[in-house]
Amino acid sequence: MMMTFSELCNEIFDKSTRDYHLTDSVDAAMRNPYELKSIEYYLYLKNWIDAVQWHFEDIIRDPAIDPVEALALKRRIDKSNQDRTDLVELVDSYFLDKYKDVAPLPGATINTESPAWAVDRLSILALKIYHMRQEAERTDSTDEHRAQCQAKLDILLEQRGDLSLAIDQLLADIAAGRKYMKVYRQMKMYNDPALNPVLYGKK
């Protein structure tokens, strides 16, 4: 049986998450095993960016962090956020091209989010599941802590199943013309020197 798109995503996201944690370093080099510019390559890259950013967010919350290091890390987080957004839009471009010849049926509706932004949430879920499973299996914590984390893990796994199904249903609806998609490019103003008054005011 052919793999669904969500199954492909979950397989690649889980692999990327495991690969990242082989070194567990935000500075580790990514070794993407998939063909350059393939959808698999972009899915792996997407989760790798998310994994690095997850750990950026952990590090910056250290109450003892040096302020100079914190500022440098904030800059890396900003760049990571932009990379993540750019990659989501690239994945949506893949879907736009894939379904470009599909004529929407009369009465076709639009979804609240594009397919790639739903895939973005699936990538984050892979990381939540990985880390919650770690907490549920910790041997240096209390039984109560492990039980609470296992309950949360069960919910996360159910959430991944529901979201995976919703993504596959959305793609099937787009392919059949029952839904159509648009991509609104993220118009982030704070990164643009022409739109952020703090930046253009310094000229």
Confidence of residue 190 (pLDDT cuts 50, 70, 90): low
Q: List the alpha helices (DSSP H) in the chain.
A: 5-23, 39-60, 67-98, 115-136, 143-176, 197-200
Residue 28, classed as helix, strand or coil, is coil
CB 165 within 8 A of CB 145: no
Q: Does residue 107 register a pLDDT over 70?
A: yes
Rg of the chain over Cα atoms, rounded to whole angstroms, equals: 19
Res 1: pLDDT: 75
Q: Per residue in 14-40, pLDDT tens?
A: 999 999 999 999 999 999 999 999 999
Res 182: pLDDT: 86
Q: Is the pTM of this model over 0.75?
A: yes
Res 187: pLDDT: 62
How far is 55 from 182, CA to CA, in rounded Å?
32
DSSP secondary structure string, 85-102? HHHHHHHHHHHHHHTTTP
Q: Does residue 127 register a pLDDT over 70?
A: yes
Which tokens belong to 93?
A: 């471009």
Q: Does residue 110 register a pLDDT over 70?
A: yes
Pairing of strands 179-180, 109-110: parallel
Res 126: pLDDT: 98
CB 70 within 8 A of CB 60: yes
Compute the average pLDDT of residues 32-61.
96
